[in-house]
Structure 1
Amino acid sequence: MDFDALTHDQQLGILRETAEAATANYDLPADVSVEMINLSENATYKIAARDGRRWALRIHRDGYHSRTAIQSELAWLTDLRQTGIVATPVPVAGKDGEQIQRVGHARLAQPRHVVLSQWETGSEPGIGEALGEPFELLGEVTARMHIHARQWKRPSWFSRPVWDFETSLGEERPHWGRWRDGIGVDAAKARLFGRTAELIGRRLAAFGKGHDRFGLIHCDLRLANLLIDGKTVKVIDFDDCGFGWYMYDAATPISFYEHEPQAADLIRSWTTGYRRVLDLPRADEDEIPTFVMLRRLLLVAWIGSHAETDLAKSMGLPYTEGTVGLCEAYLSKF
C-alpha cells in the first residue's frame, strides 16, 4: 500500500495503531496510554503508565534512515551521556534485547523501525522567554559535543548522512527537497533565493571542510529539541545528526525564528558560552550568518516537502515571505 497516498487522518490512525502494537515489544505495563506529541520526519509518542512512569516512542519514517544509521545515532548519543558530555535520551531495549524494533501494520507496505527511550524531564524553551543564559549553556554544551565528535573513535560500521551544500541546497540530491518547491516561492523569490544560495555555496567552498570546521554534529539543535531542567540543558532528537560544519550548530537553535530581533543576541550568547569551553576563531564566528541563511533556505525546502505536518502548516507562506528580507540583508552584507 502507498502510505503517502492516504489522507493525513488515515496516516495518523495507522501510525497510532502501530505505536500501540509496538508497546508489546517492551517490558511495559499492560495499561499504558499512547499519545502523539510530534509528527515530523518521524512520529513520536508519549507512553504513560498509571504509576506515573513515562517513555518516548519514535516510529521512524519509512526509507529515511537505515537500521545501521539509526544504530549509529543511538551509539553517539549514548556515548555523549555515558561520558558526561551532555544529558541525552536513554534508549530502552525490547524484550529481545535489541534497541531497534521492527513493527508492522496490515496497511503498511513493510514494518517500521521503532525506538523507545526513557522520558526526559524539563521544558522546551520559547523564543519569547529570557534565553540569554540558556543559550550560553547551550553554547558550552555544543562545544563539548564538538570536542567529543573530534576525539571519539566511532564504530567501524558507523553511518550517518552528510549535510553539505549539495545535500542541503543543491539541485541534485537535497535531503529535505528543493527550496524552489517551498510554499509561495514565485519567480521573484526564486531569483532572490537563487542568488542567495549561490553566494552561500561560494562562501562555504572558500570556508572549506577542514577537520577543525567540519565533522559529526547534531544538525537540529532547535528549541523544540532542547529541554531546560533547572540549570541543565538536555539535548534530544538526534535523528538528523550527521557530518556537517560545526558552526551550523550555531544557526539551528534559532530555527524558524531567524527573522526575530532577538536572534542576533541569542547567537552572541551562544558564542560566549562556546568560548568558555573551546576556541572559536573570529573567521568561524564571522561565517555564522552564512549558516543561518543556509538553515533558513533549508527550512523553506522542508516546509514545502512536509506540508502535511502541523509545524509546516503553522509556518507556511509567511515563513517563505519572511525569508525575503533575510536574503536581501545577507546579500547586502556579503
Structure 2
Amino acid sequence: MSAVFAQSEPETEADVTELARRALEHWGVRDGEPELLKYRENAVFRIRLPDGQPAAMRIHRPGYHSDAALSSELQWMGFLQSAGVATPSPVPALNGDLFVPVGTGTAAPRQVDCLSWLEGRAVGARGVPLGYAPEQARRVFTAIGRTIARMHNAAAGWATPPGFARHSWDFDGFFGPTPIWGRFETCPFLDDTSRELVFRAHEKAVAALSRHERSARNFGLIHADLVRENVLLDGDATQIIDFDDCGHGWHVYDLAVALYQNRQEAIYPLIEASLLDGYRQERDLTPEDIASLPLFSALRAFAFLGWVQSRVEGDVNRNAGMRISAIAADVVAAYLRGM
C-alpha cells in the first residue's frame, strides 16, 4: 500500500479484466479466462499457464511503483524463493522480462507481472477474531517468527543487483515531508481526544526513532506488510506473499506489523511470546530490540492513519476508516503508557 499513486478515471472490474485478457498473450496463454481474486491496491487474477500450472497475475496501479522499484521487488522475491524462504517467484514473460506494459486503446499501459501460485489459507482476515486454540496459536506464530527471521537472514546475505531501488521505512519514510503511506495529521476519522493522543505519541516517537540504533544488525530489507492475509499456511509450510511494500527498514518493524492486527486477541501475550520465540530460534533479538516493539507498533499506527487519510475518497469506506483509526488510537495510547 503506497500513498503515492496516479489514479486517473475510476476503473471498473471490467476494465482491469480486459487488461488481464490482453496481458495473457505475453505469457503464451491462448485460451482461458483470468479470474479476478482481489481488486484493491493492485488487481490480482488467477490464470493458468500453458503448462497447466496456475499463476497469479498482478495489474499494478498507475504510478504505484517505478519500473526499477517493481523490478527490484520481483528480484528479491526470486532470491528469497531460491534461498528456501517460501514466497512466490516471478514467472517471466515470453520475452524474458519480469513484467510487461499492457494497455488498451483508451488507457495508458500498466505494469503487469505473473507470480508462481502458492496454495494455502491465510492466517486470518482483517477485523475477524482468529479463533485459534492456544496450542494452535503457539505453533502458528512460532512458525511465522521463524519464517520472518529466515527472510531477514537471507536478505542480510544478499548482494543486491545493480539498479536495485526500493523505498526505505526509515525516519523519513515515516516522518519526512512525504511519508511512504501519507501524512497522518489530517486523518478524518479521529475524534479530538484520539487526535490529541496521536500528536503526543508522534512527538515521543520522533524523539525515540531519531536516536534508535540503525546498523546491519537490525536494519535491512523487510517485507513491511506482514498482515494476516499475507501469511499463508499449507500443512507445515509458512508462506509469505504480497511484497508490494517491501523496502529497507528495521527488522523489528516486520515483527510489530505481524503482531499489530492481533493486539485485541484474548491470547495476545501468547501470540507475541510465540512470534518472538520463533524469531529467536533463527536470528538474535536483543533486549533493546524487544523493548522497541511499542515504538514500532506506534509507527505502524501512524502509517495506517496516513494510508487511511490518503484514500478517504477511494479505497476506504467510513466503517473501515473508523475501525482502522480506532485501533491506531489504542496502539499509540499504549505506547504513551509505556506498553
Same fold (TM over 0.5): yes
Q: Which residue of 2 aligns with 1:89?
A: 88
Q: Which residue of 2 aligns with 1:128?
A: 131
Q: Which residue of 1 aligns with 2:236?
A: 231
| 3-state SS in 2 of match to 1:234 | strand
CA gap of 1:50–1:28, structure 2 versus 1, over 3 A, is: closer
Alignment map for 1:189-228 (pairs within 5 Å): 189-228=194-233
Residue 199 of structure 1, CA deviation: 1.2
Q: Which residue of 2 aligns with 1:117?
A: 115
Instruction: Please list every run of 5 or more consecutive structure 2 residues that lacks an aligned counterpart in the other structure.
Output: 125-129
Partner Cα separation in structure 1 for residue 317 and residue 216 of structure 2: 35
Q: Which residue of 1 aligns with 2:156?
A: 150
Residue 321 of structure 1, CA deviation: 2.3
What letter matches 2:131 in structure 1? G
Task: Report if the CA contact (8 A) 2:294-2:338 is conserved.
Answer: no
Partner Cα separation in structure 1 for residue 277 and residue 300 of structure 2: 21
- Alignment RMSD, CA only? 2.4
Task: Report if the CA contact (8 A) 2:6-2:63 is conserved.
Answer: no
Q: How many residue pairs were aligned?
A: 327
Partner Cα separation in structure 2 for residue 178 and residue 96 of structure 1: 40
What letter matches 1:12 in structure 2? E
Task: Report if the CA contact (8 A) 2:301-2:329 is conserved.
Answer: no
Q: Which residue of 2 aligns with 1:241?
A: 246
| 3-state SS in 2 of match to 1:152 | coil
Task: Report if the CA contact (8 A) 2:29-2:50 is conserved.
Answer: no
CA gap of 1:5–1:69, structure 2 versus 1, over 3 A, is: closer
What letter matches 1:158 in structure 2? F
What letter matches 1:41 in structure 2? E
CA gap of 1:312–1:57, structure 2 versus 1, over 3 A, is: farther
Q: Which residue of 1 aligns with 2:127?
A: none
Task: Report if the CA contact (8 A) 1:258-1:292 is conserved.
Answer: no
Q: Which residue of 2 aligns with 1:38?
A: 38
CA gap of 1:273–1:302, structure 2 versus 1, over 3 A, is: same
Partner Cα separation in structure 2 for residue 44 and residue 21 of structure 1: 14
Instruction: Please list every run of 5 or more consecutive structure 1 residues that lacks an aligned counterpart in the other structure.
Output: none
Q: Which residue of 1 aligns with 2:102?
A: 103
| 3-state SS in 1 of match to 2:185 | helix
Are 1:25 and 2:30 matched, yes or no? no
Task: Report if the CA contact (8 A) 2:297-2:331 is conserved.
Answer: no
Q: Which of 153, 167, 172 is the aligned partner of 1:166?
A: 172
Q: TM-score scaled by structure 2?
A: 0.88
| 3-state SS in 2 of match to 1:33 | coil
Q: Percent identity?
A: 33
Q: Which residue of 2 aligns with 1:293?
A: 298
Q: TM-score scaled by structure 1?
A: 0.90
Residue 103 of structure 1, CA deviation: 0.3
Q: Which residue of 1 aligns with 2:9?
A: 6
Residue 215 of structure 1, CA deviation: 1.1
